[in-house]
Amino acid sequence: MIETMSKVNLDDYSGYEDEFKERPKPHRKKKGPPTKADKARREEEINAAREARAKEAKERIKRHLSSFPDIETKEGKNKAEIYTRWVEESLKINCPLLADGDVEVKASLPKVKAGGQHMQKRLTAVRVTHLPTSISVRNEQQRNKEQNEQAAKAILFTRLEEHLGLWKTLIKNSTSPVNVEEEVISLLQTKNS
């Protein structure tokens, strides 16, 4: 054992110490208060990010409104008015507004699944639709209609919160003030483009 240690070639370790030499540090900006150029660049970055968030929210709202009837029809104008009123009132209270007649519940047979013969005998699946926004949720997880309805309403409320959040993002990040009614009409008029 001692013989093998004495035969170690020291040339194998040449340059080993060079790895630990101090490397030059990357050029860093001097510490101190930000300059006017730094502040302007930061302000530009913030504005660009806000515009991007507002644009994304607007596109998602536009996609949602694409399922609405044509604004030129009486039905379309009525739907746009109801939707606009819901958005404005929900923004005032900072929470999705759920009035008594706004939610429609329909029961149906669950989708066919293997071994689901017992479930198919009863109308246990539920579709809950929020009429002002046309957002709907289907639930068939339970064998009980009431449990499915409660779960679907909870999911519906979450989706309404997300949709209202898009409007909040649009209003907060737009460079100019947003009039909800004008925005809805313009999005409905340009929904096919």
Q: Which of 22-31, 47-56, 93-102, 113-122 has the lowest mean pLDDT?
A: 113-122
User: How far apart are the two ends of the chain, measured CA to CA in Å?
Assistant: 83
- Whole-model pTM above 0.85? no
Reported as a pLDDT band with limits 50, 70 and 90, residue 125 is: confident
Taken in order of first residue, the domains within the chain and their CATH numbers are: 39-189 (3.30.160.20)
d(CA 119, CA 142): 9
Does residue 103 register a pLDDT over 80? yes
Residue 183 · residue 169 · CB < 8 Å: no
37-55 mean pLDDT: 91
Does residue 5 register a pLDDT over 80? no
pLDDT at residue 1 in the model: 46
Phi and psi angles of residue 99, each rounded to the nearest 5 degrees, phi first: -85, 170
121-126 mean pLDDT: 72
Please name every residue paired with 128 in a beta bridge, in sequence order, or none if there are none: 105, 137
Does residue 166 register a pLDDT over 60? yes
